[in-house]
Amino acid sequence: MLCAGGARSQGWGGWWAGRCAGHGRQATGLGNAVAWIERLLRALDRFQQRHTVLGFPFGVAKKFGDDQAGKHAALLAYYGFLSLFPLLLVFVTVLGYALANDPELEQQVIDTLVAQFPVMGSQIKDSITAIQGSGIGLVVGILGTLWGGLGITQSAQDAMNAVWNIPRRLRPNYWLRLARGLGSLLLVATAIIAATALAQLGRIQHGILGRLPFVGSLLLNLLLLLVLFQVLTGMWVKWRRLLPGALCGAVGWSTLQTLGVLIVDRQLQRANLIYGVFAVVLVLLSWMYLSAQLLLYAAEINVVLTRRLWPRSMLQPPLTEPDRRVLTALAETEERRPGQTVEVRFAAEDDPPPAGDDAPHGGTSGRSAGDGEQAGAE
């Protein structure tokens, strides 16, 4: 009917043709904008690949995402929250027996422990009491809380093994993991005692000696992270390979502790207005998640430096050589039995796009990073 003669039909046809032409111009404009953004991103990608000061941090962040370390950090925060109070209960109980004749020193140790978590404050510190009862009941209670507290060390071992891409068949068995977990808890307890001694030195001494606790705390955090990285990882790593990440983690943790009181107090005041009694729980979980992320980023620094996993590509294809090695290691991580072998192959990729601004839209073709990966098990 619209095609039947008449000015009305011709008018509708002209309007429809004009509307289609308008959509075509909009589509062309959108395509040009997308092409311009892609050229800009590829230029930025080439720039960061040529400069280590940008390529290395991007490689660490990319490796963090490839390992799904954010999920491991969430698990560490969750199990850490569940394990925190049982471990504090055991610690205060053992401390009460060890320092029964010196209540003042006992309280100083507890205050030093609480200072490691700025969010805890008086709301939690005043609720910590020792386990009481018969000798058998005390032993059973301590063993039970220790068993529950080992959840955080088991999660930390899983996270470190994932960061280092250790195949599942090469990871330690249950009993060795349990021993490593107990060793980690002992290391943390020793670090708390040493931190207490440093804090006491700061109260006694003045002047330059009064600043020794801050330097000593930094060195203590460095030593603790260095040993924990070795104990929690399911393979032996040279100590010098663990030093850069431990140093970054120690500086980051000391900074986090220094700024933690200001940040947490502000967030806690805001959260109290909305969540009330649950504010402490929410802020404590956020604090633990941030601390777990700091720990895993420090571990990723060691892996990226040891295996030289940079520069990484922002836009794929093409893949860089570090990209291929990371994807290969991720696939080989799934080897679960001694007789199982995972082989990784990549599809042929086109040459990288031209470096100039005249690079055509979609200058590379082929499959994405994960599409070309084929794995088989025997």
pLDDT in tens, 17-57: 565 655 666 667 677 777 888 888 888 989 988 999 999 99
Residue 229, pLDDT score: 95
Contact yes or no for 220/258 (Cβ under 8 A): no
Tens of pLDDT, residue by residue over 97-153, are 777 777 777 777 777 666 666 655 555 555 555 555 556 656 766 776 777 678 888
Helix (H, G, I), strand (E, B) or coil at 341: coil
Q: What is the DSSP letter of 343?
A: E
Residue 119, pLDDT score: 59
**Which residues on neighbouring strands pair with residue 374, listed in sequence order?**
345
| Number of helical H runs and strand E runs in the chain | 11, 2
| Phi, psi of 376, rounded to the nearest 5 degrees | -135, 150
Residue 27, pLDDT score: 65
Residue 43 burial (CB count, 10 A):
14
Contact yes or no for 252/294 (Cβ under 8 A): yes
Residue 64, pLDDT score: 95
Q: How far apart are CA 271 and CA 268, in angstroms?
A: 5
Q: How far apart are CA 28 and CA 192, in angstroms?
A: 64
Q: How far apart are CA 243 and CA 223, in angstroms?
A: 9
CA-closest candidate to residue 120, choices 260, 214, 258, 250: 260
Residue 201, pLDDT score: 66
Q: How far apart are CA 135 and CA 145, in angstroms?
A: 15
Contact yes or no for 341/95 (Cβ under 8 A): no
pLDDT < 50 regions, the chain: 1-10, 209, 350-378
Largest alpha-carbon pair distance within the chain?
A: 109
| Phi, psi of 185, rounded to the nearest 5 degrees | -65, -40
Residue 14, pLDDT score: 59
| Phi, psi of 374, rounded to the nearest 5 degrees | -125, 130
Q: How far apart are CA 281 and CA 294, in angstroms?
A: 20
Q: What count of Cα atoms within 13 Å lies in the side-chain half-sphere of residue 128?
A: 26
